[in-house]
Structure 1
Amino acid sequence: MLRRDRDFRRFWTGHTISVMGADITYVALPLVATLLLDTGAAGVAAIATATFLPSILLPLLAGHWLETRRRRGVMITADLVRAAALAVVPLAYVLDGLSVPLLAAVAFAVGSASTVFDIGAFAYLPTLVADDDLPQANQSMQGSTTAAQVTGPGLAGLLVQLLGPAVALAADAVSYLASAVGIGAAKRPEPLPAPPTVKPNLFSGLGVVLRNPFLRAMTTHAALYNAGAQILIVNLVVLAVTDRGLDPGWYGVALSGTGAGAFLGTMVALRLAARLGYGRAFAAALAFSTGAPLMLALIPWTGGAFGLALGGLQLAAGAGLGAANVLSVTLRQVVMPKGALARSNGGYRLITFGVLPIGAALGGVLGETIGSRWGVGAGTALMAVSALPMVLGRIRRLRTPQEARPAEVATAA
């Protein structure tokens, strides 16, 4: 029982703190550039690019490297690296050495450590809990992760307002130290991964993802969804605040509906899967996460009425997204070979996260050429198309995630 598993609870707590710290960093670093350096959009874009760049450069390398190593120690080290990188900012501020290139370097260091941490956590969890407890463990992880993502940006703003931007990042560094302590408190011995029978190459994890029909469908879906979501995000703020006159504060409140819905979705995901079957529950979740946003470009109102409609649609979409995330993580951990979890997740992450800067750039081009409303429509249309590989493929017919496990993996178990 996970409720009585102290090691899982300690790891869960540390992981949740780490996720919250990452969200605080994502919001606070650009605020440092804006408030202390008075930089414009170019400076903020440089920091954002540095944050996302490791998601393109590192997943294959990190997955390949982590496959033959114990992951818990690496995750603790990643937390310590993030804490040290963030501590540079208040120190540079005191010494009058703060600059956009320095902030971009900090963002790159934090983003790199976060990439390694996330790939390690994905591969570590199946070694910490029993196979039967894996769905519930992922539900717990996704639920607390969603809660952290909801509160993280607001906490970042509060810390910046109360402490100032530089000191806020010092407080954020402490959160990574707390995460390292929590993860380190999980004392259950982690088995050393068995050496592979055939020496894998750097791209072997990517091959696992592309060859397996279930992993291929999930990867295609996630890549298209993430690209569409970036197109949507870039244009939605212009449509809501500039074109429809929604107050920026209320715009933030409306967007928080996504997090609130995602928390609800994570809590009902396993019940839905037990009632409908795994594949049908996945399809139902996708109907909300990719279907509800289609209405955004069609909202006819302005001001507060637009904000209420936006918040309602974000709540529905978030509920589907939260449920889909729980089901997706568990299915990937079951389908990916036990001896290739880190490599395979590295390949998955390369594709699904690598599209983020592409989607953001495309969103800017579409917004400038066809307008924000049509840009929102294009983004949500791509998100809807992303569901097709899932609802038309074999995943929809799954009763349990174990049915998708390759025969050779099931025999080895």
Structure 2
Amino acid sequence: MLTGQLWSHSDFKRLWFGQSLSSFGDRISRIALPTLALLTLDATTFQVGLLAAFGVLPYLLLGPFAGLLADRVARRPLLVVADVGRLLSLLSLPLAHLAGQLTLTHLMIVAAVNGVLTVFFDVAYQSYIPHLVGREHIVEANSKMSFTRSAADVGGAALGGGLLQLLGAVVAVVVDAVTFLVSAVSVLLVRDREEVRTASGQKPGAVLADLKIGFTTIGGDGRLRTLMTATGVLNLGGAAASALVLVYAYQIAGLSPLQVGIAFGCGGVGLLVGASTAAKLAEKLSLSTALVVTIAASGASSIVLATSPVSAAFVVLMFSQFVAGLANSTYNIHVLSLVAGITPFELLGRVGGTAMSVVHGSGALGAALGGTIGAALGVRATIGAAGGLIIVVAILVALSPVRSIRQHPGNEPAAPAAEEAAEPAAGETVDPAESAGETEKQPAR
């Protein structure tokens, strides 16, 4: 995390700085908007839940479309538009409050608009990173970005809570909006100009055909298919367990809010440690082994929590949260980097958007199933079963085509000189999966 070649990459540092501020802004919004709804607008529990749903539903409904747009237009301007859109939508809330016109409907619209723009931002920047830094630096880039996202998870909630306590929800929303302004300026300062690519053989108006490519690309590549399926099931099991952790902590173990806060803080520390050590773990174990180990560790953290004595619940919950945070952070870094490394540049948006839709959908389903099954079978049994499901995923990945991947594309030993000498004919489309490290480092101007 503290070392690497990207420290000298000015454009990446600008994008990283902007993305980091956006992450902190997102975390502040997660607290500020529901607080505004509850304390200022007297929202009901259902209405607060609906407000939260606007953060998930856009991924389910718009992920593939966001990916298609990211493949058809330059991604850098798309990032700026998403940031400016979120800035303006958030600023409308304090302005309405000052005018005495703030309503719950207005708040819901802002939450929905921000949710949609966040999907387009996330898909665009994940598609832009491989172009900006080159395939050989994807892991380092994702590690650095994951570190600051994890820091936002740890510190963003605390910052948001402090702002709410000292200045109120309306001012916290203004601070959140300012983070998007700074992010937009940071992205505008990126000097790199990418070449806009379209999938070979596709007409500009063939929207449905272009959307289908995202699904067929994932379905036709055993590695991508395995990674998406594994991540989807991992999210389903993880969300099912997470939905019941607080029930276990408060109702079964009798822990205090302070103890729960400390335990979840350990999870944040695990996220930071995972982001800092992900690359070293893959180097030591091989990439495929690192993926299997982190999936298994995530499942084991739930099983340990479910089977340990209640008398040790506080210590076990701290340990479980730390291991889960470390494992999930490491897994996410390597999966994002691996998908970016084996997907052709002109398909990065559609593959990423399609995967986001499936992955976030499975998380939403897992949370619903966790509560339903927990009520029927018991909280501890459901948490343990969710952990067992994740262990099964680890076994399936170990037996899949992913098992042969030793390291990330772009980090392989150099090809023989005779192979490197071959160049495409003028006008020929270059497949970045086969020619990694050329076009992405020196894009056409």
Q: Same fold (TM over 0.5)?
A: yes
- Matched with 1:244 is 253
Deviations 1:128-159 (A, max 9, x none): 11222222122212222211222111111111
- Matched with 1:363 is 370
Q: In 2, distance between residues paired with 1:376 and 1:292?
A: 10
Confirm whether residue 299 of structure 1 aligns to residue 305 of structure 2.
Answer: no
- Matched with 1:331 is 338
Matches within 5 A, 1:208-219: 208-219=217-228
Greater Cα offset, 273-282 or 194-203:
194-203
Matches within 5 A, 1:151-300: 151-194=155-198, 196-199=200-203, 200-300=209-309
Matches within 5 A, 1:9-408: 9-194=13-198, 196-199=200-203, 200-302=209-311, 305-402=312-409
Q: Cα distance 1:29–1:389, how it changes in 2: closer, same or farther (>3 A)?
A: farther
Q: Cα distance 1:195–1:312, how it changes in 2: closer, same or farther (>3 A)?
A: closer
Deviations 1:7-57 (A, max 9, x none): 111111111111121122122211222222333321211111122110111
CA-CA distance at 1:164 after TM superposition: 0.7
| C-alpha RMSD over aligned residues | 2.1
Deviations 1:287-342 (A, max 9, x none): 2222222111123225xx42222011111121111211121111000111121000
> If the length of structure 2 is used for normalisation, what is the TM-score?
0.87
Q: Cα distance 1:32–1:242, how it changes in 2: closer, same or farther (>3 A)?
A: farther
CA-CA distance at 1:368 after TM superposition: 2.7
What is the total number of aligned residue pairs between the two structures?
410
State the one-letter code of the partner of 2:407. T
DSSP 3-state at the match of 1:402: coil
CA-CA distance at 1:403 after TM superposition: 9.0
Q: In 2, distance between residues paired with 1:375 and 1:163?
A: 41
CA-CA distance at 1:111 after TM superposition: 0.9
Deviations 1:217-248 (A, max 9, x none): 11111111112222222211111112221112
CA-CA distance at 1:377 after TM superposition: 2.7
CA radius of gyration, larger in: 2
Q: Cα distance 1:330–1:365, how it changes in 2: closer, same or farther (>3 A)?
A: same
Q: In 2, distance between residues paired with 1:272 and 1:313?
A: 20
Q: Cα distance 1:105–1:372, how it changes in 2: closer, same or farther (>3 A)?
A: farther
> If the length of structure 1 is used for normalisation, what is the TM-score?
0.93
- Does the CA-based 8 Å contact 1:244-1:301 persist in structure 2? yes
Greater Cα offset, 380-389 or 183-192:
380-389
Q: Cα distance 1:202–1:262, how it changes in 2: closer, same or farther (>3 A)?
A: same
State the one-letter code of the partner of 2:235. N
Deviations 1:106-147 (A, max 9, x none): 211111111000000011011111222222122212222211
- Does the CA-based 8 Å contact 2:292-2:395 persist in structure 1? no
Q: In 2, distance between residues paired with 1:45 and 1:387?
A: 33
Q: In 2, distance between residues paired with 1:208 and 1:189?
A: 26
Q: In 1, distance between residues paired with 2:6 and 2:46?
A: 47
- Does the CA-based 8 Å contact 1:218-1:389 persist in structure 2? no
DSSP 3-state at the match of 2:72: coil
Q: Cα distance 1:233–1:128, how it changes in 2: closer, same or farther (>3 A)?
A: same
Q: In 2, distance between residues paired with 1:91 and 1:261?
A: 39
DSSP 3-state at the match of 1:103: helix
Q: In 2, distance between residues paired with 1:169 and 1:94?
A: 13
Q: In 2, distance between residues paired with 1:96 and 1:51?
A: 26
Greater Cα offset, 235-244 or 388-397:
388-397
State the one-letter code of the partner of 2:351. S
Any unmatched runs of 5+ in structure 1?
A: none
State the one-letter code of the partner of 1:380. G
- Does the CA-based 8 Å contact 2:28-2:172 persist in structure 1? no
State the one-letter code of the partner of 2:116. S
- Does the CA-based 8 Å contact 1:214-1:404 persist in structure 2? no
